[in-house]
Structure 1
Amino acid sequence: MESRVALIGVIIENHNSVEELNRILHQYAEYIIGRMGVPYPKRGISVISIALDAPGDEISSLSGKLGMLPGVSTKTIYSKISNEAPKEG
């Protein structure tokens, strides 16, 4: 299956979901390029961005599992690049 580069944006409003969120992310560790979390105490939320290189169905599965957690919202964007390596020129 074709691998895609994607970014999942996550907003956590219920901090009771963090342990399960981390457990799910661990299951997809082989696909995660990097992750950045930013707490926003003024609003009582956290914002996480997760960069992935994975098959499309794995990206959708991860995003869906995270989005089903109580107080967790996700949005996924995909790169337009293909599986091919960049051409040297």
Structure 2
Amino acid sequence: MTKRLGFVGIIVNDRRAAAAAVNRVLTEFGDIICGRMGLPYPPRGCCVITLIVDADTDELGRLTGRLGMIRGVSVKSALGKLAPPPAASGRPA
């Protein structure tokens, strides 16, 4: 399958209960995660994590499926329509 760039949005409603499980899953899928940003959001009593991924649809489905099974975790994701072109000579395009 063709890998494409995409993103994953994760909302963790009970950080104390879910953080360890979320981090285990993210570590397991570390090879498709290009970047990660996590922010606590005290006004709503939750945490928000955003991921940039380089994955095919099966890999992304496995990641989001595993995260979605964790109690108190909501997940949404999307992949870009086109695969990014390969970089020439190791330089960014």
Pair in the same fold by TM > 0.5: yes
Q: Within 5 Å, give how 1:1-89 maps onto structure 2.
A: 1-15=1-15, 16-85=17-86
8 Å Cα contact 2:4-2:79 kept in structure 1:
yes
User: How many Å apart are 1:83 and its aligned residue?
Assistant: 4.8
Partner SS, residue 83 of structure 2: coil
User: How many Å apart are 1:75 and its aligned residue?
Assistant: 0.4
8 Å Cα contact 2:5-2:84 kept in structure 1:
no
User: Which segment drifts farther, 24-33 or 74-83?
Assistant: 74-83
User: How many Å apart are 1:42 and its aligned residue?
Assistant: 1.5
In the alignment, structure 2 segments of 5+ residues that lack a partner are 88-93
Partner SS, residue 8 of structure 2: strand
In 2: Cα distance, 1:4 partner to 1:82 partner:
5
| Root-mean-square deviation (Å) | 1.6
In the alignment, structure 1 segments of 5+ residues that lack a partner are none
TM-score, normalised on structure 1? Answer: 0.89
In 2: Cα distance, 1:56 partner to 1:78 partner:
8
Fraction of identical pairs, as percent:
38
Structure that is richer in helix per residue: 2
8 Å Cα contact 1:2-1:83 kept in structure 2:
no
